[in-house]
Structure 1
Amino acid sequence: MTKFHINRRRLIQTSAAGAAILAAPSILRSREARAQEGTVNIWTYANFIPQDFISEFQNETGIQIQVRLVDDQGKQFNLLAAEQPQPTVDILTVAGHRFLQFIESGLLAPIDTDRLTNWGNINTIYSESDWGTINGEKWGAPVLSGAEVLAWNTEMVDASETTSWDVMFDPKYQGQTAYIIQDMMSVMMLYKGYDGNMIEYMDDPERAAEIVRETRDFMIENKGMVRKFYDSGAEIQQMFINQDVVLAHAWNGPISKLIMDGFPIDMTIPKEGSYGFIYTFNIAENAPNADNAYTFLDALLARPEIGAAMTRASGYLSTMNGVNEHLSELEQRASSFTEEELEGLQFFRAEANEMKYQLVDPAVEEIKAA
């Protein structure tokens, strides 16, 4: 099947990395930036910031990057809320559909794009998107994008079986599947023909509750199919490598990394559809090193090679313009979907999140306990 790069559909920017960034020109040009000292504290996912960039940034600015790894948006929210009004973090990684929760709780500072000379290097699909502007303010720098995908071991599962989410419940693969349970709830609502964002039901909470119960019961009924509910990208990668599973619901980033590494795996967006998401770097309200945070963000957005390196490190798709020029043939395959697949891709939205997660969070615990 012919593959199309994701930016052809203007939904998700295709962007895998090319040459190493150390050979590229200097990150920063200003003498003032080079003279800064101190630290910038960042909470982010594993491999989101390439090590070469960290070394180059620290050498040029004298600012030390201190990374604390996170693996869950809810845990990050709770930690940041507990630290207020004096957080230890300067930059944190928030998924676009969780913006409202962080903003309404006063945990993020709006981004002053006038302080980011390289803001224009972000594709306007992301930098000027409606989900990224709330109350007239921008709340983060979109850096990577991804999708919830169906992934499979190509030596164990035939591609013809993966056109539908049905395959996750085929008795043939009992005990050989895995998924992120909360994310799978949204996908399964979509699979059953409902709005997994629950925006359609904001004025009908009883209908929303009914849909969540139906989806919960379906997942309990099929719980015996699942080997494990997992949490992190590294975990599902290891499960595939160990052949603990041959099928999984997954984020595309960890799967893309396996493809780039030559592992026999592929991914798709099944015919029932799935959800996409954007990761943003946000400045915390009362960030202890806000000036250094802006210096870091501007450096990160300086060149398409950096965006390419971010994709190579994380497997997710860069939001920056010009990254395609740095794609190898294998990296193109790892970061592309067919036009037909993209027709079914929607973005997670935040408007109904309060109602949604009041219903979904207890349902998740009930599935685990069943």
Structure 2
Amino acid sequence: MKRIPRTARRGVTVGLAITSVALLTACGTAQGGGGSAASEAPTELGDMEGQVSILAWPGYVEDGSNDPAVDWVTPFTDDTGCKVTVKTFGTSDEALNLMKTGDYDVVSASGDASLRLVAAGDVAPVNTDLIPNYENIYPFLKDQSWNSVDGVPYGVPHGYGANLLMYNTEVFPTAPTSWDVVFDKSGDYAGKVTAYDSPIYIADAAVYLMAHNPELGIENPYALDEEQLAAAVDLLKQQRANIGEYWSDYLKEIQAFTTGDTVVGTSWQVIQNVLASEGATTDVVLPEEGATGWSDTWMIASEAKNPNCAYAWLDYIASPEANAAATSYFGEAPSSDQACEFRDDCEAYHAGDADYASQIWYWSTPIEECLDGRTDVKCTDYAAWTAAWQEIKG
């Protein structure tokens, strides 16, 4: 398979602006609540403006300049007349700050950023009737808490994937079935455990606690009240003593598993694909407790200068061939079965497997209005998670 770009990563999300999170306390989600955008979705499109400015994760908008053989931007420009300019970002917080400049028409947002963009009024709802390829997108990616508000879509789903458990097959001749090897049993592998370096990783601990400490009453790993967050923090502090290295750069994790410095920890399917191609003694599994994951969304700026070309891009990048090219290059499942007709590795990514997808808790921004529907308590927001993560790491 083609490896993802050397710069492609899900960076550490720290330094969050508190004002951005504060806005979220009044912003609704698909599970309920209010919220409004700075602009409404159009009912029809006009003439193409001739250009579109895109803010994207590395590897999502390739025009052949990084690799002449990798180019799905040129066909878009040829078809629409919209010349693409792109700026890449390394973290969700960076994307949030850049969107506030008003310089971009479109952004690819992960679930730990999308609601913050909505709450700040930086992105607008979209009219999916104007996006023909939306129809073919997997139903389990549509109308979700990270891409919609009260059933109103704020973008088009792109690729998705799970944060899996990777293990050294020589250390684990029998595949582990539980996350307990990185939590309660992490002491057995002291110094050789790895974890994703981000406040959103707190949700991984919450997924584990949902299964093993049901008395905590956790129903959604992104909806933690103070007591539940404290339990997750305690678990992660215990784990911290056995962590050899936290990672956000996938290349560092590949190196650590290759050298044996790391033998178990959270990872992605694409990392396993790279390691397998190099003959490494590793494998991945989706543990019995389930896992966190990501589902990215293409969103349109509320004050987009080129809204017609922006809509054209959202439709194009959701088209089977373009979506297949982009998600394959990055290393994730595509958004439709039709895209799998242009890929030969969809089975490895469990693309379209609704049962598999149902075991994934996709990244969502924690907000005070509990995403699990509780109204008798306040949940902890992302600012609290960021402070907790700094405390965990010391």
Q: Which TM bucket (shorter chain)?
A: 0.7 to 0.9
Aligned residues of 1:270 and 1:341 also touching (Cα < 8 A): no
CA 1:265/1:92 → structure 2, altered by over 3 Å: closer, same or farther? farther
- Name the residue aligned to 1:113: 128
Letter paired with 2:159: L
CA deviation after TM superposition for structure 1 residue 345, in Å: 3.4
TM (norm. structure 2) is: 0.70
Specify whether residues 266 and 41 from structure 1 end up closer, same or farther in structure 2 by C-alpha distance, changes over 3 A only: farther
Match status 1:99 vs 2:117: no
Tell whether the 8 Å contact from 1:256 to 1:335 is kept in structure 2 after alignment. Answer: no
Distance between the aligned counterparts of 2:356 and 2:380, measured in 1? 29
The structure richer in helix per residue is 1
Taking the TM superposition and a 5 Å limit, the aligned residue runs for 1:232-243 are 232-241=249-258, 243=260
| CA shift for structure 1 position 91 | 1.2
For residues 135 and 339 of structure 1, the distance between their equivalents in structure 2, rounded to whole angstroms, comes to 23
Q: Does 1:366 align with 2:379?
A: no
SS in 1 for 2:132: coil
1:233-272 CA distances to partner (integer Å, 9 max, x unpaired)? 4443444345542322134454455557765532212122
Say which structure, 1 or 2, has more relative contact order (CA 8 Å, 6+ apart). Answer: 1
Matching residue within 317, 340, 345 for 1:300: 317
Structure 1 length as normaliser, TM-score? 0.74
Root-mean-square deviation (CA, aligned residues, Å) is 3.4
Structure 2 distance, partners of 1:337, 1:36, is 35
User: What do residues 32-55 of structure 1 show as CA deviations (whole Å, max 9, x unaligned)?
Assistant: 98x8633x2222222234532123
Deviation at 1:149, TM superposition (A): 1.3
Give 2:348's aligned residue. 333
Instruction: Pick from 160, 168, 173 the counterpart of residue 174 of structure 2.
Output: 160
Summarize the Cα distance change of 1:248–1:64 in structure 2 as closer, same or farther, 3 Å threshold.
Answer: farther
CA, structure 1 residues 339+144, in 2 after alignment: closer, same or farther (shift >3 Å)? closer
1-side partners of 2:244 and 2:352: how far apart?
Answer: 27
- Is the contact between residue 90 and residue 284 of structure 1 (CA under 8 Å) also seen in structure 2? yes
Quote how far apart the aligned CAs of 1:196 are: 7.0
Contact 1:165 1:270 in 2 (8 A): yes
1:318 and 2:328 aligned: no
Structure 2 matches for 1:144-155, cutoff 5 A? 144-154=159-169
Summarize the Cα distance change of 1:171–1:124 in structure 2 as closer, same or farther, 3 Å threshold. Answer: closer
- Aligned residues: percent identity? 23
Alpha-carbon distance between aligned partners in 1 of 2:262 and 2:346, rounded to the nearest angstrom: 24
- Looking at structure 2, the residues matched to 217 and 137 of structure 1 have their Cα atoms a distance apart, in angstroms, of 37
- Separation in structure 2 between the aligned mates of residue 67 and residue 48 of structure 1, nearest angstrom: 10
| One-letter code aligned to 2:382 | Y
Evaluate the alpha carbon distance shift between residue 162 and residue 336 of structure 1 in structure 2; reply closer, same or farther with a 3 A threshold: farther
Q: Does 1:56 align with 2:75?
A: yes
- Give the 3 Å change call, closer, same or farther, for CA 343–291 of structure 1 in structure 2: closer
In structure 2, the residue matched to 1:69 is 88
**Is the 8 Å Cα contact of residues 54 and 65 (structure 1) preserved in structure 2?**
yes
What residue number does 1:192 align with? 209
Distance 1:210 1:125, change over 3 A: closer
Match in the other structure for 1:45:
57
Deviations along 1:197-244, whole A, 9 cap, x unmatched?
35766xxxxxx2222223222322331311222224444344434554
Counterparts in 2 of 1:69 and 1:266: CA distance versus 1, 3 Å: farther
How far apart are the structure 2 equivalents of 1:148 and 1:243? 20
Residues 1:282 and 2:309 are matched in the alignment:
no
* Structure 1 equivalent of residue 12 of structure 2: none
C-alpha distance in structure 2 between counterparts of 1:336 and 1:262, whole Å: 24
Q: Aligned to 1:293, what secondary structure does the other structure show? A: helix
Residue 43 to residue 177, structure 1, CA distance change in 2 (3 Å): farther
Q: Is the 8 A contact 2:109 2:299 kept in 1?
A: yes
- Tell me how far apart the structure 2 counterparts of residues 108 and 275 of structure 1 sit (CA, whole Å): 25
Residues 119 and 189 of structure 1, relative CA distance in 2, 3 Å threshold:
closer
**Structure 1 contact 165–191 (Cα < 8 Å) conserved:** yes
Supply the distance in 2 between the matched residues of 1:165 and 1:337 (Cα, whole angstroms): 24
Correspondence 1:131-146 to 2 at 5 A: 132-135=147-150, 137-146=152-161
> How far did residue 326 of structure 1 move?
3.9
What CA distance in whole angstroms lies between the structure 1 residues aligned with 2:230 and 2:248?
23
1:68 and 1:263 map into 2 onto residues whose CA distance is: 34
Write the distance in 1 (CA, Å) between the matches of 2:280 and 2:49. Answer: 43
Equivalent position of 1:352 in the other structure: 370
Provide the C-alpha distance between the structure 2 equivalents of 1:306 and 1:256, rounded to a whole number of angstroms.
22
Aligned length, in residue pairs: 325
